[in-house]
């Protein structure tokens, strides 16, 4: 079983749609969770951290369910500029704080 699993997509949605991505992780000791965004042939960049109580940043909402070892990202009112690959990232709390990446979910927003 992969340490971090994501639905690879692609998700093809029209502008204005709401889309949700899911991610599961295997290490119950993981402490930190993130969503990164990666544009084609570019480096990943932090989109948002994910907190236990859930958090929102504009059109983006992240949720964490520790019991189910499940993370989600909700994007409301999708824009063309949201087209990218979204990477779920989990801190492997084995004492060395290494970041483990999911394979990513590709989103394509069309007019």
Q: Which is nearer to other proteins, 49 or 69 (CB)?
A: 49
Q: Which is nearer to other proteins, 45 or 66 (CB)?
A: 45
Q: Min. distance of Cβ 67 from other proteins in angstroms?
A: 20
Beta bridge partners of 107: 11, 84
Q: Min. distance of Cβ 85 from other proteins in angstroms?
A: 9
Q: Min. distance of Cβ 24 from other proteins in angstroms?
A: 14
Alpha helices, DSSP H only, in 1-65? none
Name the burial class of residue 87, with classes exposed (0-12), middle (13-18) and buried (19+) by CB atoms within 10 angstroms of its CB: buried
Q: Which is nearer to other proteins, 33 or 75 (CB)?
A: 33
Query: Could you give the CA distance from residue 63 to residue 44 in angstroms, rounded to a whole number?
Result: 20
Cis peptide before 13 (omega within 30 of 0): no
Query: Could you give the CA distance from residue 102 to residue 55 in angstroms, rounded to a whole number?
Result: 20
Q: Which is nearer to other proteins, 13 or 100 (CB)?
A: 100
Q: Min. distance of Cβ 16 from other proteins in angstroms?
A: 29
What residues make contact with other proteins under the rule CB under 8 A?
Answer: 8, 31-32, 34, 41-46, 49, 87, 89, 91, 96-104
């Amino acid at each position: 079983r992969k340490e971090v699993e994501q639905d690879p997509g692609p998700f093809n949605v029209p502008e204005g749609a709401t889309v949700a991505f899911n991610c599961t992780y295997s290490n119950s000791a993981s402490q930190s969770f993130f969503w990164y965004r990666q544009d084609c042939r570019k480096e990943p960049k932090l989109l948002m951290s994910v907190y236990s109580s859930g958090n929102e940043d504009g059109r983006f909402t992240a949720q964490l369910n520790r019991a189910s070892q499940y993370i989600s990202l909700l994007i409301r009112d999708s824009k063309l500029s949201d087209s990218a690959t979204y990477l779920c990232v989990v801190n492997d709390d084995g004492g060395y704080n290494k970041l483990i990446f999911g394979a990513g979910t590709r989103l394509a927003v069309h007019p």
